[in-house]
Amino acid sequence: MRSMTGFGRGESDNGALKIVVEVKAVNHRYSEITVKQPRQFLALEDKMKKVVGEYIERGKVDVFVRTQELADAEKPVQVDQKRALAYHEALKGLAEAVGTSYHPDPFRLMTLPEVIVKEETEPDVKALWPVMEAALRQAMDNHIAMRNQEGAHIEENLREKVAGLQALASRVAERSPLVLNEYKEKLEARIAELLTNATVDPERLAQEVAYFAEKSCIDEELVRLQSHFEQFYTIADQKGSIGRKLDFLIQEMNRETNTIGSKANDLEIGRLVVEMKSELEKVREQIQNIE
């Protein structure tokens, strides 16, 4: 069982450029992958999404890419002569305006803003893909490790809650046969109270009890509910994306529980049903975190 939330970081370099990739994900009904990276790497976006898709099946995943140049000195350097001459004329005019002599110094001119220009070259993204892929896969490995760790905690909690639901269902099953007997006794007492000097027709009483038994029988619902519990453990032991299966299963558990509550016609069973529905809602919320 794996969570849909997590974070991972990876980095790689080729000696001239370091690429740092960070991946974070939150819950989502489907798989949605967004890549945020420098414009020059847009050509790699589809490849990156394909790699991320190898690791996850559900979740809203954001991939962030940062780069750091490690070999600035290797970039060609040029002098913007027009800008340098513009500075020269401006300084010359300023010297004349304040009445002082001006001695041109090309080395000082080179220190002025944007006189020295480093030639920016577009990176060879095809050549950089192995570096990008290495950083991305490292980030995804770390991301999946966090998903697995969180998923293990969720699974432990879910198994405890489902075991608690089974215990509540067992108490309902134990209570169910007693409801019919109590109804029969109450009905007999009520009839006797109303008909003080008359005898109760056993056949008519049996028909009434049989009708009540048929209307309030919850045996089928309890059997299906137990089957759903067993399915939960089977699905929980599976690999891959199981969140949707569990979500559907919890809906079925909730449906059977509601039916039990509406048919049982018993205060104690009704109280147990309320408790079961409360626990099922907690389970449903937890399942929203599962991939």
Report pLDDT digits (tens) over 259-279.
Answer: 888 887 788 888 999 999 999
Could you tell me if 260 and 217 are in contact, meaning their C-beta atoms sit under 8 angstroms apart? no
Distance CA 237, CA 83 (A): 70
Give the closest residue to 65 by CA, choosing from 25, 34, 32, 22. Answer: 22
* pLDDT score recorded for residue 210: 58
Distance CA 258, CA 266 (A): 13
Give the closest residue to 269 by CA, choosing from 150, 146, 159, 177. Answer: 177
* pLDDT score recorded for residue 269: 87
**Positions of the chain with pLDDT under 70:** 71-76, 118-123, 179-216
What ranges make up the beta strands (E) of 57-208?
A: 59-69, 77-79, 116-118
Could you tell me if 289 and 3 are in contact, meaning their C-beta atoms sit under 8 angstroms apart? yes
Give the residue extent of every domain in the chain: 6-72+126-148, 76-118, 149-287
DSSP label at 57?
A: S
* pLDDT score recorded for residue 101: 86
* pLDDT score recorded for residue 73: 45
The Cβ-side half-sphere exposure at 269, using a 13 Å CA radius, reads 25
Distance CA 205, CA 263 (A): 21
CATH T-level topology, domain 6-72+126-148: Ribosomal Protein S5; domain 2 (3.30.230)
Tell how far CA 30 is from the center of its chain: 10
Distance CA 242, CA 155 (A): 12
Could you tell me if 224 and 251 are in contact, meaning their C-beta atoms sit under 8 angstroms apart? no
> In this structure, which amino acid lies at residue 9?
R
Instruction: Find the radius of gyration of the CA atoms of the chain.
Output: 37
| Six-digit token string for 49 | 């999404």
Polymer length of the chain: 291
Which residue carries 């890549």 as its tokens? Answer: 35
Could you tell me if 159 and 153 are in contact, meaning their C-beta atoms sit under 8 angstroms apart? no
pLDDT tens figures, 197-243: 556 566 665 665 555 555 667 888 889 999 999 999 999 998 888 99
